[in-house]
Amino acid sequence: MSVTSIASQRTANLTHYEERVDLAAALRWTARLNMHEAVANHFSVAVNEDGSQFLINPNLMHFSRVKASDLVLIDANDPNTMDRPDAPDPTAWGLHGAMHRICPHARCVMHVHSVHATVLASLADSVLPPIDQSSAGFHGRHIVDANYGGLAFEDEGERCARLFTDPKTKVMVMGNHGILVIGNSVAETFDRLYYFERSCETYIKALWTGKKLRVLSNEVAETVARQMDEYPDAAARHLAELKAILDEEGSNYAA
């Protein structure tokens, strides 16, 4: 059977195949970048109009092994979700269920404990200042949750979801926890996750020097952030290139 025929068969047998492939690729690459946390952390993407139905990575499977067919389809409005044999991690249900139920504009949601973003989340002041072009892209587009209340079970997940009231907010630094990133697609959200972690790394290493930081003005930072918002096709191309690399390596992520 040709590669094209195999791909067509997979598409016919799996619902939301393209979303599955994108999410599986993002999970694989996040593990490669060491931005994952053992078998914890979760990515999800909405697949219906109101965002209530979404795909999420399976419970306790390492990011580096997840395939498109492994992703679990659940409904944020189904109270019996945790009774299913393939139920997601309880904190995945608590956080992502709440996000997709309360924030329909969050089509894709990624939560990680990546090292540098978690260092930022551990500081008394967890705001990322605009000290370079990448960090300026998040000016006025991230918020800090300073009221961590424990593992993200349903009550805590709902509290976090209700903090995304401003449509400009795309990243939440979860104080004492990690980060939550949202977007319109897997590609957009992963690209944002990647650049936020890189920006945090630059900031943390700049702090290590002990020297005074060169912080951009609010006006310049907002200009850069707006330009980044409007920059064409970069996120889609980023994920497309990562999938091309995985394909060339013979990865089974799309299976």
**Counting Cβ atoms within 10 Å, is residue 13 exposed (0-12), middle (13-18) or buried (19+)?**
exposed
Structure tokens at 34: 């060491």
pLDDT for the residue 239? 98
Please check the confidence at residue 35 and state whether its pLDDT lies above 70. yes
Provide the 3-class DSSP secondary structure of residue 37.
strand
pLDDT for the residue 4? 37
For residues 107 and 50, the answer to whether their CB atoms sit within 8 Å is no
pLDDT for the residue 3? 40
pTM of structure = 0.94
CATH label, 17-248, candidates 3.90.245.10, 3.40.50.2020, 3.40.50.620, 3.40.225.10: 3.40.225.10
Amino acid identity of residue 37, one-letter, is E
Question: What is the distance between the alpha carbons of residues 249 and 243, in angstroms, rounded to a whole number?
Answer: 10
Q: How many CB atoms lie within 10 A of CB 121?
A: 23
For residues 56 and 44, the answer to whether their CB atoms sit within 8 Å is yes
Please check the confidence at residue 117 and state whether its pLDDT lies above 50. yes
pLDDT for the residue 2? 37
b/e burial code for range 157-180 (CB count within 10 A of at least 16 → b):
bbbbbebbeeeebbbbbbbebbbb
Structure tokens at 205: 């290493």
pLDDT for the residue 10? 56
User: What are the residue boundaries of the structural domains of the chain, listed by start?
Assistant: 17-248
Residue 209 contacts by C-beta under 8 Å, 6 or more apart in sequence? none
Question: What is the distance between the alpha carbons of residues 60 and 64, in angstroms, rounded to a whole number?
Answer: 12
Sheet with strand 53-56: strands edge to edge = 72-75, 53-56, 42-46, 108-112, 178-183, 171-174, 142-145
